[in-house]
A and B are shown apart, each in its own frame.
Chain A
Amino acid sequence: MLIDFPFLWESFTALLKGIPLTLQLTALSVVTGGVLAVLLALMRVSNKWWLDLPAQFYVFVFRGTPLLVQIYIIYYGISQFPELRQSWVWPFLRQAYWCAALALALNTAAYSAEIIRGGLLSVPAGQIEAARATGMSGFLLMRRIIFPQALRQMLPGYSNEIILMVKSTALASTVTLMEVTGIAAKLISQSYRPIELFICAGAIYLALNFIVARLFAALEYALSPERRPAPVSAADKPEKARA
């Protein structure tokens, strides 16, 4: 079988139109989910059981159930309650776009909270004790000592999470949204040529995820100068054996 390049190109350009929606859903859910995740992580490390326990339960529920269920509960499930259909949230939750964004945000918040918690816990106790000893407390301690170090520590995990989110936006196609996977599914059922469309859509996702991974690698490099080898001045360079 020969490769049908015109068809390949045609489907590729059709799929490109889905990228803005994929990116929008990713950005919206990563930002709002990120805010929620910071709150949850702070609750988890607060050492107060009445803050820790609800956060733990939230993480357990959202990590233990498929994202598809979460999307369906929000998109289809909420309409079961007439009271909600009268309220101010209905104009939003009637639309698949906001439902998908909300579900993605709530979902990523649970995973990110654990990544952020891991970052916070990775700051050596001695650093915090030293900061306390110099009189720093509360917010200042967080801003100057804990947060900058935690941020660097959690970057690799967080970049994985964002790549997962890029892939998870595909599920928005199950509630009628026409992002890259949605368009691919539509074109597959029209043309019955799954392999070509799979190659095009797959290439788009791989490219997006490659960009995310590169961006985070660059950020990590920029934020961790102490892990780079010290610059070697010409005078220090080991001399070659003289001939």
Chain B
Amino acid sequence: MDYLQLMGFGPNGWGYGMLAATGMTVAVALCGYLIGSILGSLGAAAAFSRFMLLRGIAGFYTTVLRGIPDLLVIYLFYFGSSSVISGVAALFGAEGFVGAPAFITGAMAIGVVSGAYQMQVFRGAVLALAKGEIEAARAYGMPSFLLFRRIILPQAARFAIPGMGNVWQLVLKESALISVIGLVEIMRQSQIGAGSTRQPFSFYLTAAALYLLITFVSGRGFRLAERRAMRGVRRAA
């Protein structure tokens, strides 16, 4: 069977399978990214907090999660939640190992990891704000939340776009690791295909091409967003 037939949409083709897997990759990466955004903004808020304890927790979170392999975090989430679920299942009389749902645990794992990176992006973006802006707002008597909503958020969001683009690429590539806990995304589907057709090179090359396509298209998207957000900013000639 030649390559086009193999990856085609015919009766023996793997086209639909790979397409569905691509959708799964994008879905789990998006979920992880959103979880990471929430954790990242909470972390950044804690890092700017008045309370030393909160600052300490945020610093610990970002240092640890950026310092250990993502694969380890995925294992922790998968086996950790599985052992909890198995324990609950044992109460109802089930025996042995009950696996946690791969999608949720996978999204949580890459969410927690990407949150550590996004926290640094947000922190950098807030620090990039001109100090005078905040002082001026304070001088007007703006309360904290209003100051955040009107002055900090719109400008920090603009500064954060390039960094957010980098983290998105990271998350997308990280999502390949979720295949080790059995979620059928691009990598897992390629493994299945490679196993049943004995054509591993064709499948993994296709997987690489699909990832390249997603990173390329989303990279373009982020560049457009950056250009749009930077409309009003004067650049030194």
Contacts and interface: CB of A to CB of B under 8 A. Distances in A.
Interface stretch (B13-21, B66-74, B127-135, B147-155): B66-74
Contacts of B75: 181, 184-185, 188, 194, 198
A217 interface: no
Contacts of A198: 72-73, 75-76, 80
Contacts of B176: 66, 68-69
B71 A209 contact: no
Interface string B68-104: 1111110110111001001000000000010000000
Contacts of A195: 76, 80
Contacts of B70: 167, 170
Interface string A18-53: 000000000000000000000000000000000000
B199 interface: yes
Given A66-B176, A68-B187, A77-B201, A194 B68 contact: no
Contact of B71 (A72, A171, A189): A171
Given A174-B180, A194-B75, A198-B72, A65 B173 contact: yes
A95 interface: no
A80 B200 contact: yes
A13 interface: no
Interface stretch (A1-9, A142-150, A199-207, A224-232): A199-207
Contact of B69 (A72, A73, A170, A192): A170
A202 B72 contact: yes
Contacts of A181: 69, 71-72, 75
Contacts of B78: 194
Given A77-B204, A194-B75, A69 B69 contact: no
A62 to B, nearest CB: 10
A141 B79 CA distance: 56
Interface bracket on A: 35 or more
B205 interface: yes
B204 A72 contact: yes
A73 B199 contact: no
Interface residues of B, number: 43
Nearest to A202: B68
A80 to B, nearest CB: 4
B200 A79 contact: yes
A65 B169 CA distance: 9
Given A69-B207, A170-B72, A188-B75, A202 B187 contact: no
B71 A170 contact: yes
B192 interface: no
A194 B69 CA distance: 15
B212 interface: yes
12 contacts: A60-B212, A69-B187, A70-B208, A73-B204, A77-B200, A169-B69, A181-B72, A181-B75, A189-B79, A192-B97, A198-B73, A202-B68
